[in-house]
Each structure stands twice: as structure tokens, then as C-alpha cells.
Chain A
Amino acid sequence: MSAEKFDMGNIDIAWCPGCGNFSILDVLKDALSELEIAPKDLVLVSGIGQAAKIPHYLKTNFFNGLHGRALSPATAIKASNPSLTVIAESGDGDMYGEGGNHFIHTIRRNPNITNIVHDNMVYGLTKGQASPTSRRGFKTGVQINGVVLEPFNPLAVAIGLDAGFVARTSITDKELTKDIIKQAVEHNGYALVDLLQPCPSFNKVNNYKWFKENTYRLEDSHDPSDRDKAFSLACKKDKLPMGVLYKSQEKPSFEENISAGPEPLYENRLDTDKLDSLIQSFA
């Protein structure tokens, strides 16, 4: 399948020139077409932010909801129709800030969805405030003396919660990013992809060069089932390891656990005989 089937043609894209989102969009299209997913069987779910606009630039079904809320509808969409491929994709502010509570509980719930977080360590759409993953000392118009909070560590949190699939990549390494997205989509259960992304407009510190210099690919010998190892890798601050850090043992997904069955709920028709006998039981 060619990536063109996801193309929107000549459209006005609202991202700044040089933004990492463009490459993410390209890589995503490639990954999806290599996985042979048809646009009509895919739902992209996003919140609000620059990253969250991604569904608008891709020919597919989408649910572009509220700031921080991508994971809740994504979970429900997958549960309501398990045959759909569901990807929740948004920024670090959206997923880890406003959506922090849902991030935690979605991991616990383990729906079979892929969660791609464009992690540019800044709020883009609201013009450059600190995000939960901004590094200490990062100066903005609001954090005028620099960020004093410890950055949120999504990977350590996800591994701590025994998430099924936990990966980090950077758009500065397109090949790895594509490979990881494909693996994440194929994983049965919740899969986190923390995708480092430069924001040339508002994050002058963590730029393209910084990501290149401060990340490295995990060796092939890394055993993602080793949770202790994965946790210590996730806690590394000097240089950031990229790759699939952690994969838990196979466990049932949310949809399997609540035994929705494979049929979409829109085909679920009320069994009036059953309801009638339930009603009669109150007599």
C-alpha cells in the first residue's frame, strides 16, 4: 500500500516552517501504509495543541476532541468497535499535563490502542509555556526564572504501572520512529510512544541538534522484558535511550477483559425477550 492514500492533497497546514510535526506526519503515513491499514478502518483521536491537529492533515476517520482528553474517547471507541485501529496522538502538555490522570488510568485499563505523544518539551499552540516534560531551568514568558519543577518522566511512570509497551524515539531518527510506531500499533494492548520532537518556534534549547546529541539507540541486545533494567534506563537523564524500553508479559486488553466481543456495538440490537423477562422479575 502506498502512503498516498492518507494524503489530503493540497491543504493549508497550520504548523510553523521547520516544525518536527511535518516529519512525524510523513513517518506516520509510511508506517500505517506499511502496516496495510485502510483509512476507513483507522481512527485517529487527539486532544488540542499543535500536535493534536495531526488528524486534520491525514485522510482518515478522526475524533479531534478536547484538550487532554484523547485517551478517554480512544478507549471507548476501541471498546465499542474492536475491529478499528485506534491511535491517540497529541502533545506532551495534552497527554501528560491536562490528561495526566487519564494517562495513568488508561495504562491500568490497557485498551488496545497506540498512544503517540509528540514530546517537544514545551506548549506550542499557546506560545511557549513550560510543559510537564520541560527541563529544569527552561525559561519562558511564564517561568521567567526558569522551570523549577522536576520534569515528568512518562516512561518511568508507564513502566511503574507495568504498561504493555513502552518506547521512546525521536523524529531526528525517522527510521527508528517508523519501526517503533509499527511495533506499537501491532502490540495487543496499550502502547506508549514518547516521540521527541523539536519545536523551532518556542523551544530553542531542545532543538534538532540537542535531540541528536542527547539521544542514542538502545542496543539490539536490550531485553525489553527486563523491567528493572527498563526502569533504570527510563530514569537516565544525561543521554536519553531510544527504542522499546519495556514490554510486559502478554496480558488481556481492556476490550478482552470486559468481553465486549468482536462485534461493533452499532450492531448490538436489544433482545426484547430478555428485557421483558428482566422487567417481569420485578413483579
Chain B
Amino acid sequence: MNALRDKNAGVSIVLCGQAGQGIQTVEKLLTSILKASGWNVFATKEYMSRIRGGTNSTLIRAGAGPVRSFINRIDVLAALDKSAGGHLAKRISPHTLIMGEKEVLEGFGDKGSFFEAGFSQAAKDLGGKVYANTVAVGALLRLLGIPAEKGKEPLEKFFAGKSDEIIEKNQQALKKGFEMAEKPAEDFGAGLKLSGEPDVQGKMLVNGAQAVGLGALAGGCNFISSYPMSPSTAVLAFLAQQGGQFGLLAEQAEDEIAAVNMAIGAWYAGARAMITTSGGGFALMGEGVSLAGMMESPLVMHAAQRPGPATGLPTRTEQGDLELALYSGHGEFPRIILAPGTLSEAFSLAKKAFNLADKYQVPVIILTDQYFMDSYYNTETFSLDGLDNSPHITETDKDYLRYRLTENGISPRGVPGFGDGLVCQDSDEHDEQGRITEDLELRVKMNDKRLKKLEAAKADYVQPSLEGAEDYENLIICWGSNYNIVKEAIELSERGDTAMLHFSQVYPTPEDALAAIKKAKKTAVLENNATGQFAKLLKLQLDFEPDEKILKYDGLPFAADTLSEKINEMF
């Protein structure tokens, strides 16, 4: 039996098939039943850039303890298409139970154990092919040792709004699948049945895109202008769908250039605006980042990374745009870059981004990636306690100066129509009022003023978090979406001498982190890119160089289980 299952890390189920075959239905239904049955769940998908066909897979994990990261191991593979065998060849082990229709299983050779299931026939008997996916869910429940009744309510909820007949047929389909899996469950059940006391720690089930969207709402976001680009579009769609009730304006701009210029215009008029995009769109927004820098406009930018350059791998994951975020826009001006590691952090940092942008009048960039956007798990319910969105705008008087030179570089920000003053914002170098100047001494003062704000922003730095052994010798340094993966990898490696230092604010890099880094005898920086962009930034900011770099850039996330093996080899 697999060692991981021994330790109650739960089971890993992979659904694999073509786009349009209903993987998502199975995924949604199964995760909701698992969660309703008291299990912690996690799901993430990898998919091809096409709407129909291709080979896509979704990993679902269920466990007694929190399960929150991608792993390679597959306990149960629900194969909907022949191509699954080739696609997942490296992840199938002798322990993998592969379930599927006869002709699908033929594509697998003899690796693994097989459960030949007549889902389509069962569905046809019930009156239509559409029920096949629910039959499969029923079978999976049996394999996991979850009583069929547990599926009843979630299924009703899932098909809410459909006719009674459809709901009833789906209930029958679920039961049918459950019956079908009786024998395989007996044969393989011991290894697959969940054990341990179910204990769902959190109440919410959200994905990365929803967490960012909810955080934006909590941050008072009331304007989003964006141009669709995978994998960032879900945030635009979420805010467009949920934002109406909050008086939020959502506009699909004609391009990213318009989107970012709109967002800056909106902030100027007093809105709290954001954009969401991916690397290719962010590249186009460079001029807007620079404009925000010069105008000292607040701006919140969410960039969900995918592999580049150019159009790259549109549906895959990477952390390859840190340097783009860092260096986008010309000229010298401050910015803040955040990279949430967990879903609750995505919520809290998206919220914080608005307040930071408003307070320091700088662009704040939130970096996530496809893996983060598309992954979900149950987590502690986001809290609005202590929420403080008091705007940092001033009622202006007649002598108002938009760019007044102040001690800390922050000038009170007015908005047109609020007060008697005039609000003049300019992309040219300007005087205190905001009017064009070629007074070169003033240019130096204005430049200093803008850069000074970064010093002030130290007060709000998001400090990195240290996880794992307290008395560590080895330290893995990572950022953004790798938080849960590295954390679990260290746990799986059972190393009492290894810890993780995870950065959620990547720039400016909190200097205090150096103490934690120096404590380690051996260090490695881990990131999803080919050149170690964060490692380079650490060198630049903290003058620190790691002993090793662990890099991955094949478009897929790190897997906690393979990474744990790597940790044991490395340290």
C-alpha cells in the first residue's frame, strides 16, 4: 500500500479525458460530495488550449487533514478517453486503479489495476448518455468508501433549477454507479478507503480566481477594466458577475492599453480600480505602469502568469513574469509586488493591494499563475473583521497642490469635484500643481519625492512566512503559488532539519528575511521558471545567493511528492 495513504494523506483521484467530455461535472459534483461528507478536498486541472478534444486532466484529493497541493501520485484514475494512458503514463503506478469503459482501458497496456465499467450503457438504460458522468461519480464514491446517501443532497443542489425528472434520473445514475463498483471496491477497497477522523477544517471552497475577486471586493474595488486573456479572465468574469450588487463597474476594454489607461482614469476620479491580465497583456500595459508611476496614481494590477515568451503555452502555468512586473514601464519609480501563497492570502493581499495603492499612490501588482487560478480547496472562511478601507483622498481647498512636496513623498490626493481645488495630473514632469515643467532642479525634487514613497511603504511590508522545522539547517525559499506544495513536500520528506521561507511580498523584498536565511546551513530557491528570477532579485535586494536552485518550467506545477524525494536527495 502506498505510504502516503498510510499517513492519512488521503486519496488522489485523477479524471482524464477530452475537453467537453464532462470532466468538470464529475469534478464539481465529486468535490462537493466529498466536502459535504466531511473530507478536506483539493482540485486542480491541467488542460490544452482548445475547447473540444485534446487530453485534459483534473486532480482531486480528499483527506482527513488539509490537502492543498498538486501531487503526481494517482490512486484512482477515471479515464474517459483512450489518450489518458499515454498522457499520464509517468504518473501511473502499479498501485493505480484505472476505471473506464472497455475500449478506453485497452489503451493502457497492463500497468495498474483495472475496473472495467459500463458507464455509457448504464446511462443509456436510464434514458440518455448525459447521465454517464453521474454514474461515474457513484462508482467513485463506492471506491472511496463513501455511502451513496451522502451524494443525495449535493446532487440536488448541483442540479438545482433542473426538472424533477432530471434530478431523479441523476439520483438513480449515482446509485447505479455505486452498485457497479461493489466488486472493485471489495478487491481494492482496503487501499482506497479513506480512514481517520474526517475533520473539515475550513468552511469555504473557492479557487484562486474567486479568492482574488473576493479580496478585491473587500478592498473596495468598484471598477475593473480588462481584456480577456487566460488564465486571468476568471477574475474579470467573477467581478462582472458579482460586482453589480456592489456598484462595481466592469468593462471589457478594446485592448490592454485601454484597460490600464481606463483604470488610471478611474482612480483619478476617485474609483478603486483594478485590471486583470496575463503576461502578454501586461506587456502591453507597460506604458500604463509608467504613467501611474509619473502621475502617482494608485493602480491595482493582477497578473496571472502563464509560460511565455509571447503567446507561450496559453493554458499552462509558470512564474516567468516576475521580472516583467518588476521592470515594466520606463523610468524610475516605486511599485509593490505581492504574490499570495494560499487562497486566504489571495483574499487578504488583494484586499491589501487596494489600500497600499491608495495610501502610497503607486502601482501594486498581484502575481498569481494558472495553477493558482485553477486550484481550489476548502479553507477557513474569509473574514471581514477589522476591515478598514478608509479612502486616502482629501477634500481639496482652493490652494490645493496635487504634487505638494512633503517629508515622506506622499502628497494628499484629491479627486475632481470633491472640494474647491483643482486636481491636475500629468504624464510630463510637472510642478507641485501638476503643470508641465522643464525646471530641472524641480525635476530632481519630484523624482526624489516619488522614490521616497518606497521608504514609507516599509511600514506595510508583508513579511515572509517560515514553515517546517524550527531548528532548521536547510531552507527552501519560494514565493507565490508554491507555498502549499513546498510545505507538503517538506512534511512528506519527514525531515526535521528543513524549513521553508515563503515570500508573499516579492518586491520590495523585506530585509528582515535575511536573518532567517542566514540561519540556514544550506539554501535553495525554488521557482517555476528557467532562470531563477526571484533568486536574482534576492541577490539584488538582499545580496544573498542560494546554494541551489530548484527550477521547473515545463508548464506544470511542482508536485509535492516528487519534490519531497528531491529534498531527500538534495539535503
What residues make up the interface of A, taking CB atoms closer than 8 Å to B?
14, 39-41, 43, 45, 48, 53, 55-56, 59-66, 69, 72-77, 79-81, 83-84, 101-102, 104-105, 258, 260-261, 264-272, 274-276, 278-280, 282-283
Contacts and interface: CB of A to CB of B under 8 A. Distances in A.
Given A69-B257, A79-B266, A271 B206 contact: no
Contacts of A80: 223, 249, 265-266, 269-271
Contact of A73 (B206, B210, B264, B421): B264
The 6 closest A-B pairs by CB, nearest first: A73-B265, A266-B270, A76-B265, A80-B269, A72-B261, A105-B254
Contact of B381 (A265, A268, A274, A279): A279
Given A40-B417, A101-B258, A266-B391, A64 B428 contact: yes
B265 A45 contact: yes
10 contacts: A64-B425, A69-B257, A73-B262, A73-B264, A80-B249, A260-B247, A270-B218, A279-B384, A282-B206, A282-B214
Contacts of B249: 79-80, 258, 260, 265
B281 to A, nearest CB: 15
B384 A276 contact: yes
Contacts of A272: 384, 387
Nearest to A282: B204
A65 to B, nearest CB: 5
B565 to A, nearest CB: 35
B417 A84 contact: yes
A267 B391 CA distance: 10
B255 interface: yes
Given A66-B287, A265-B223, A268-B222, A76 B269 contact: yes
B381 A283 contact: yes
B287 A76 contact: no
B427 interface: yes
Contact of A81 (B257, B417, B435, B436): B417
B465 interface: no
Given A75-B262, A80-B269, 20 more contacts: A40-B420, A40-B422, A56-B435, A59-B422, A62-B425, A64-B425, A64-B426, A64-B436, A66-B288, A69-B287, A72-B259, A75-B265, A261-B247, A268-B271, A269-B220, A272-B387, A275-B218, A275-B384, A278-B217, A283-B381
Interface in B133-169: none
A76 B266 contact: yes
Contact of B258 (A40, A64, A84, A102): A102
A278 B242 contact: yes
Given A102-B254, A266-B393, A66 B271 contact: no
Contacts of A283: 203-205, 381
Contacts of B435: 56
B123 interface: no
Contacts of B423: 61
B436 A83 contact: no
B553 interface: no
A39, A45, A63, A66 pick with most chain B CB within 10 angstroms = A63
A65 B427 contact: yes
A101 B268 contact: no
B40 to A, nearest CB: 14
A182 B220 CA distance: 37
Contacts of B273: 76
Contacts of A64: 424-428, 436
B291 A65 contact: yes
Contacts of A14: 436
Contacts of A65: 261, 264-265, 291, 295, 427
A73 B268 CA distance: 9
Contacts of B263: 76
Interface residues of B, number: 65
B418 A266 contact: yes
Contact of B389 (A40, A60, A63, A270): A270
Interface in B179-206: 203-206
A14 B222 CA distance: 39
B84 interface: no
A273 B129 CA distance: 43
Contacts of A40: 416-417, 419-422
Contact of B425 (A63, A274, A276): A63
A125 B41 CA distance: 61
A72 B220 CA distance: 22
A107 to B, nearest CB: 11
Contacts of B420: 40
Contacts of A261: 247
A176 B418 CA distance: 34
A132 B258 CA distance: 20
A81 B220 CA distance: 16
B384 A105 contact: no
A80 B423 CA distance: 15
Given A65-B264, A258-B251, A274 B271 contact: no
B462 to A, nearest CB: 22
Interface string B384-422: 100101010100000000000000000000011111111
A33 B415 CA distance: 22
B429 to A, nearest CB: 12
A271 B245 CA distance: 9
Nearest to B242: A278
Given A80-B223, A258-B249, A282-B205, A265 B384 contact: no
A170 B253 CA distance: 32
B424 A61 contact: yes
B217 A270 contact: yes
A30 to B, nearest CB: 20
A73 B384 contact: no
A124 B249 CA distance: 37
Interface string B255-299: 101110111111011111100000000000001100100010000
B217 A61 contact: no
B253, B272, B391, B424 pick with most chain A CB within 10 angstroms = B424
Contacts of A79: 223, 249, 251, 266
Contacts of B114: none
B246 A274 contact: yes
B225 interface: yes
Contacts of A53: 436
A49 to B, nearest CB: 12
A264 B417 contact: yes
B382 interface: yes
Contacts of A76: 223, 225, 261-266, 269, 271, 273
A53 B203 CA distance: 56
A264 B270 contact: yes
A279 B204 CA distance: 8
A277 B89 CA distance: 44
A66, A80, A104, A264 pick with most chain B CB within 10 angstroms = A80
A268 B425 contact: no
A65 B262 CA distance: 11
Interface string B339-351: 0000000000000
Contacts of A104: 254
B457 to A, nearest CB: 23
A83 B384 contact: no
Nearest to B203: A283
Contacts of A39: 422
Contacts of A84: 269, 416-417
Contacts of B217: 270, 275, 278
Interface in B214-247: 214, 217-218, 220, 222-223, 225, 242, 245-247
Nearest to B213: A278
Contacts of B250: 258
A105 B273 CA distance: 20
